[in-house]
Amino acid sequence: MQTVLGILPDALAYGMVLFTISIGLSIMMGLMRVVNLAHGAFAMIGGYLASFALVSLGVSYPVAILIAVIGTVIVSVPFEFLLYRRIYRRSDELTQILLTIGITFFIVGIANYIFGPTSKPIPLPELLKGPFDLGFRMIPAHRLFVIGCGVVTAVALWLLIEKTEFGVRLRAAVDNGDMAEALGIRTQVVYSATFALAVGLAAFGGVVGAELLPVEPFYALRYMVTFLVVVSVGGAGSVTGALAASLLLGLADTTGKYLAPEFGEFFFYVAVIVIVYIFPHGLFGRAH
């Protein structure tokens, strides 16, 4: 029992980090049909911007998160305008993969050049620093914050997609673009807004998750497989699916690390294989 209680909070925190970063990718892949391999690169840009804002500009933590999210969206605008517009929905997957992996290498190179090869700190505010006593164990206060962020993100996104006018337009634009356009929905605007949302979520996840996935120039490549796995296990485009997948995989990985750390990511991938075998379209995915 002691062991279970010891593992659960860590598993939950790791799962929520995976969720906040991967959900943007899930939206891109599920709703816009873009295999965006540069997603991790945008998360990394968010981390760098937050680190720069905190260390060099000396702003507070919430302001740094805002700067990171807005800044990353601004950085992504030229990419969207010049490149991504060409690959929404219609282009084949190979083009998408080549283009987005190219963007990733480009961003990795630039980050390495500007910020140098060492990992960058994202200093936490006093409130989130140090241990917090849960009664049965100590946990880094920051992890509770991460769990909170994950819950808020999940609820907000679900409301946005299922309950708002924007959500209706988005789903319409995705399901049948031509018809939506004929009905007066400006699909290009909807796509651009969704892209900005996905990028913003990546940046947000990159910042709050930096304690578990530290920001360094190879971040974009190092964790991309993990994010893709979360999306494929959860089923692309499903908020509930991404949440369930993140929590399950977080649990598998954390339990493995606790009980048999020398096996590395073995348990993570065993969980992936089992889930994908039972649910070929992901936990909550639809067959296209």
CB of 222 to another protein, least distance (A): 8
Which residue lies nearer to another protein by CB, 19 or 191? Answer: 19
CB of 258 to another protein, least distance (A): 4
CB of 14 to another protein, least distance (A): 6
Which residue lies nearer to another protein by CB, 9 or 241? Answer: 9
* Distances 247 to 151, 240, 243 between C-alpha atoms, Å: 12, 11, 6
* Distances 123 to 21, 142, 176, 233, 266 between C-alpha atoms, Å: 20, 11, 45, 33, 32
Chain center to CA of 155: 15
Q: Considering Cα of 24, then 202, then 83, then 73, what sign does the dihedral take?
A: positive
CB of 219 to another protein, least distance (A): 10
CB of 46 to another protein, least distance (A): 17
Chain center to CA of 243: 11
Instruction: Find residue 120's DSSP bridge partners.
Output: 215
Binding site for another protein (CB under 8 A): 2-3, 6-7, 10, 13-14, 112, 116-121, 123, 129-131, 133, 137-143, 211-214, 216-218, 222, 253-255, 257-258, 261-262, 264-265
Chain center to CA of 31: 15
Residue 193 to residue 188: CA distance in whole angstroms? 9
Q: Determine whether 130 is exposed, middle or buried from the number of CB atoms within 10 Å of its CB (0-12, 13-18, 19+).
A: exposed
Which residue lies nearer to another protein by CB, 256 or 285? Answer: 256
Which residue lies nearer to another protein by CB, 60 or 240? Answer: 60
Which residue lies nearer to another protein by CB, 223 or 284? Answer: 223
CB of 129 to another protein, least distance (A): 8
Residue 24 to residue 147: CA distance in whole angstroms? 17
Those residues with Cβ within 8 angstroms of residue 102's Cβ, 6 or more apart along the chain or in another chain: none
Residue 169 structure tokens: 């337009």
CB of 200 to another protein, least distance (A): 24
Residue 83 to residue 53: CA distance in whole angstroms? 28
Secondary-structure breakdown of the chain: helix, strand, coil percentages, each rounded to the nearest 5: 75, 5, 25
Q: Which residue is it, tokens 């499903």?
A: 238
